[in-house]
């Protein structure tokens, strides 16, 4: 199943996408998602990042080929870092190059794991029970700032430096996604090349932070006024991304 988050008629909603179009839903994928009978043309909606997370937790140098090309050894434990939630960017929106070192910007296609419910201190063989699905992310970095600081927060957290989406893809239990890149694309490193696989990485860093569901969203059918206010914020975000 493919779940999107979108803007339509001044409301932010979740929807399910199939060959017929976009099926608006009430509720959220983190509580209960109820498909409505109407179908929207995908061209009539503005895609938003499919998640609005309280935290963006990342693992660095986890692809063996990437560690090799940077000359760094593979970390014995997951190398955890955070990106600011203000770096979140909707699919198709432009990435703003910062005034400081605009020629030192790098990008990395990443698999994003969408947490479906609160998790802490869970064993590796139970990790999949807390995963709602997966989506695509772009880990954009200001390498000059990153290397000058000696830590990664500022260099990876400029506004719009975390495009996510377009959809959350759900899978049956214990099944993980497969990657596929168009011919000619570089950096074709699949999940089999991970230093720490998804259950193993989650098992190691879940005792450190509580993992919350990957949304701070509410149901616009229950709180329509808040839905309109939320959408004003989304308009501002889109306007800022278009600067």
Residue with the larger pLDDT of the pair 154 and 61: 154
Confidence of residue 219 (pLDDT cuts 50, 70, 90): low
What whole-number distance in Å separates Cα of residue 114 and Cα of residue 50?
A: 10
Q: Which residues of 23-61 are buried (b: 16+ CB within 10 A; e: fewer)?
A: bbbebbbbeebeeeeeebeeeebebbbbbbbeebbbbbb
Residue with the larger pLDDT of the pair 188 and 89: 89
What whole-number distance in Å separates Cα of residue 211 and Cα of residue 209?
A: 6
Torsion of the alpha carbons at 136, 140, 146 and 147, rounded to the nearest 10: 90
Q: If you average pLDDT over every residue of the chain, what do you get?
A: 78
Which domains does the chain show, CATH number per domain?
A: 2-50+216-231 (2.30.30.370), 56-205 (3.90.850.10)
pLDDT of residue 49: 97
pLDDT of residue 223: 44
Percent of the chain at pLDDT > 90 equals 46
Compute the average pLDDT of residues 143-156. Answer: 92
Q: Measuring CA to CA, how many Å separate 202 from each of 59, 152, 195? A: 10, 20, 13
Q: Where are the beta strands (DSSP E) in 32-129?
A: 33-35, 46-48, 56-60, 79-83, 88-89, 105-106, 109-115
Cβ proximity of 156 and 146 under 8 Å? yes
Q: Where are the beta strands (DSSP E) in the chain?
A: 2-8, 11-18, 21-27, 33-35, 46-48, 56-60, 79-83, 88-89, 105-106, 109-115, 131-138, 141-142, 162-163, 168-169
Tell me which DSSP letter residue 63 carries.
B
What whole-number distance in Å separates Cα of residue 243 and Cα of residue 241?
A: 6
pLDDT of 228 strictly over 60? no
Cβ proximity of 101 and 144 under 8 Å? yes
pLDDT of residue 95: 96
Confidence of residue 6 (pLDDT cuts 50, 70, 90): very high
Compute the average pLDDT of residues 173-185. Answer: 57
Percent of the chain at pLDDT > 70 equals 66
Rounded (5°) CA angle 117-237-163:
60
**Residue 128 in tokens:** 């999949």
Confidence of residue 175 (pLDDT cuts 50, 70, 90): low
pLDDT of residue 146: 92
pLDDT of 97 strictly over 90? yes
Compute the average pLDDT of residues 196-211. Answer: 57
Compute the average pLDDT of residues 110-116. Answer: 88
Compute the average pLDDT of residues 50-76. Answer: 75
Compute the average pLDDT of residues 185-210. Answer: 55
Compute the average pLDDT of residues 86-113. Answer: 92
What whole-number distance in Å separates Cα of residue 90 and Cα of residue 68?
A: 31
Reported as type and span, the H/E element at residue 227 is: helix 224-241
């Amino acid at each position: 199943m493919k779940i999107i988050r979108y803007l339509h008629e001044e409301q932010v909603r979740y929807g399910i996408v199939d060959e017929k179009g976009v099926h608006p839903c009430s509720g959220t994928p983190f509580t209960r998602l109820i498909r409505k009978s109407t179908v929207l043309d995908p061209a009539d909606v503005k895609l938003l990042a499919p998640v609005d997370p309280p935290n963006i937790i990342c693992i660095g140098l986890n692809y063996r080929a990437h560690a090799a090309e940077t000359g760094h050894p593979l970390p014995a434990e997951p190398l955890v870092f955070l990106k600011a939630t203000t770096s979140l960017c909707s699919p198709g929106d432009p990435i703003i190059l910062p005034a400081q070192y605009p020629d030192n910007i790098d990008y990395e296609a990443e698999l994003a794991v969408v947490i479906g419910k609160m998790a802490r201190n869970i064993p590796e063989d139970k990790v999949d029970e807390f995963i709602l699905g997966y989506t695509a992310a772009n880990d954009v970095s200001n390498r000059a700032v990153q290397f000058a600081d000696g830590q990664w927060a500022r260099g990876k957290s400029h506004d719009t430096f975390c495009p996510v989406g377009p959809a959350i893809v759900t899978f049956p239990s214990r099944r993980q996604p497969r990657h596929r890149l168009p011919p000619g694309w570089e950096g074709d490193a699949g999940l089999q090349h991970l230093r720490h696989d998804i259950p193993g990485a989650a098992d190691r860093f879940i005792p450190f932070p509580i993992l919350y569901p990957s949304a701070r969203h509410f149901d616009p059918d229950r709180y329509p006024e808040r839905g309109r206010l939320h959408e004003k914020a989304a308009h501002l975000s889109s306007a800022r991304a278009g600067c």
